[in-house]
Structure 1
């Protein structure tokens, strides 16, 4: 572990080293291996570091067969001289905060309620843990968050220690370690003892704050979402900005925001209901007007930009009023034709067959029953031409 500088000191932001090898992997991606490195490779739930080595960006860092590979944007010009590496410190410290925060939150849930952490993901925006419980109460989440932030306020030391498998018996570990050698413990004295290979700050105070955002049931577990450190400040800023914009749009103070949104939604529902009623009235009037123009029991028309739902509703109104009617509707909607064929209860001709005979003219698809069918396709012919095909088939 001597060549992994991030274990000696996770606060190292720049370093010098020699290049051992520069080569390409099996996929043709260029990488180098250094004599020593401060770049943390992906592992233990923590994403890799990024930064630069000389004049090349470090894109990915992985440990493969015991060597830490630094995948670079471009090859280095001189691999014989010492190279300078620089860590993206903002990213590194963010992950240090989140990872230490995860230890604290997981320990809090286990100490308070016995809920063990069985899954963990450190994302770019949020951190999640999967708790071994099907249900999580709001009061439980609040207590775990309160204890977590109390541990932060106390600014307890975060210690790291390399131990043997035999020495593990001296520690009350939160979970069993997966490795049997090179075992690294991350310890918050009298609170959490856990095997971990990630990077962490030197004290809990540097985590700054922890905020649980939400949780949901995942199969028989509960997935908890939270943020730590600078992400708490960022989330607060984003949410405050949205809230301020809403107060202006709704002309309501922050404390009355919930009532204002509820009123807005209720007004929207009422307006939508009135609009539906108005549309119903218009369609009823239109159905009556079309029935008055019925010839040879056929009610037919070409519409512009009428939805298939409106065509269907209008057709049903007509065949409910006139049991001998046959309805043939075509609507030209941009570059498509929509068709509806319907019959009253006294008529026996199959609308499904009629639809099947005309759909090939427009490379269309459709379906339905003998009494009511619908379809659509490309507007390669006009709506009037399509209606003529339909009328000719009926006549």
Structure 2
């Protein structure tokens, strides 16, 4: 086992440089390192070497390399960031516990695991995940945490390992490190872990999603879980204060706001329909031939509705939306708008296309759009 595996409590150490290399930065290998290198879904440790931040830690052919911004020489003082180490150990330990419970109680295998900067994810081999399964898992997790099961790491010969009730067959040969959590879990693993399940304190699930036919669970453990609780409670308090209600009334208030939003959306849609009708009537009364309408501040949605109304009125016209510099064209088939756009829009620094009765084009400015409209009017009147 490596030094950080044998003496997991070491945070400050003295050593010397064994070798160096330059590959997208400066890298040093030490005579003895207590930094955990990125591996198995667990991020690398953070910390310093001679007060210089360690940017990354990777292992290649058994050698642990530390990335730095500038080269160092001579004797080295290494300091492993305890907060980061404990955080990663907590997320990793939580993964072991969750995976063991799922396999023991539901015969659901773990496919992959990753500790992210905010949440950790666990991909499990099952096509669906129910609220009942979630409740049962959370209940069992609380029990395991309360039990305070001891967590140990022991190195065995390959023959000895095969006698253990491992959750997964190891992919390595020779001496194999096995992490044991009471009698709950035996896993071949090189990562960092807590000393007891009681140190997990709290595990919260933050999301469930379907990934390639299986399920991905997102979670946080220990300090991350407490920070999430605090953040969500603060957000709940602020939301309740903004609505002048009690926090327990949030759901009721949200439902009321959703109903009001639907009512207002329907009212807006009806009002927009009336505006479009009036604008179309006015345009039909004032213009013959090609209808040309400009919207200076209207949302593109309203312009699109007007263009559709022009087509339904069996007329040909354009609506220019100044906010988006987009020209919407609709017609009755007398002039193939899509072919015209394809033939001419680039000449006016625009791009677009469409079919016989509907087309649109994007321009860099109004002048180019209006010049295109003039050319379209000439074609339409000819």
TM-score (norm 2): 0.91
CA distance in 1, matches of 2:310, 2:324: 27
- Secondary structure in structure 2 of the residue aligned to 1:170: coil
* Residues 1:276 and 1:96: Cα distance change in structure 2 (over 3 Å): same
Counterpart position of 2:243: 250
Distance of 1:334 and 1:237 partners within structure 2: 42
Tell me the secondary structure at the aligned position of residue 381 of structure 1.
helix
Structure 2 residue 60 is matched with structure 1 residue 71: no
How many angstroms does 1:53 deviate by? 1.0
Q: 1:313 to 1:159 in 2, by over 3 A?
A: closer
Say which of 46, 49, 52 aligns to 1:50: 46
Match status 1:24 vs 2:16: no
- CA pair 300-226 structure 1, distance change in 2 beyond 3 A: closer
1:378 corresponds to which residue? 364
Total equivalences in the alignment: 381
Change over 3 Å in CA distance of 1:222–1:308 after alignment to 2:
closer
Unpaired runs of at least 5, structure 1: none
Aligned to 1:5: 3
Alignment of 1:1-395 (within 5 A): 1=1, 4-21=2-19, 23-25=20-22, 27-76=23-72, 78-79=73-74, 82-295=75-288, 297-306=289-298, 309-321=301-313, 323=314, 325=315, 327-331=316-320, 333=322, 336-343=325-332, 348-356=334-342, 358-379=344-365, 381=367, 385-395=371-381
In 1, the alpha carbon distance for the partners of 2:33 and 2:71 equals: 17
Cα separation, 2, equivalents of 1:87 and 1:194:
25
Partners in 1 of 2:113 and 2:105 — Cα distance? 19
Structure 2: which 5+ runs fail to align?
none
Pair 85,341 (structure 1): closer, same or farther in 2 beyond 3 Å? same
Q: Output the CA distance in 2 between the equivalents of 1:33 and 1:350.
A: 70
Deviation at 1:360, TM superposition (A): 3.5
Q: Distance in 2 between matches of 1:57 and 1:231?
A: 23
Change in Cα spacing, 1:354 to 1:19, as seen in structure 2 (3 Å) is closer
Q: Contact (CA 8 Å) 1:328, 1:387: kept in 2 or not?
A: no
Over residues 256-283 of structure 1, what are the superposed CA-to-partner deviations in whole Å (9 max), with x where a residue is unaligned? Answer: 2112111111111111111111111111
TM-score (normalizing by structure 1): 0.89
- The Cα shift of 1:309 comes to 4.6
Partners of 1:380 and 1:204 lie apart in 2 by 67
Question: 1:52-103 deviations in whole A, cap 9, x for unaligned?
Answer: 1113211111111221111112111x42xx3211011100011111111111
> Structure 1 pair 222/317, CA: closer, same or farther in 2 (3 Å)?
closer
When the two chains are superposed, the root-mean-square deviation of aligned CA atoms in Å is 2.3
Shift of residue 319, structure 1, vs aligned partner: 4.9
Q: Is the 8 A contact 2:348 2:368 kept in 1?
A: no
Deviates more, 1:55-64 or 1:303-312: 303-312
Bigger Rg, structure 1 or 2: 1
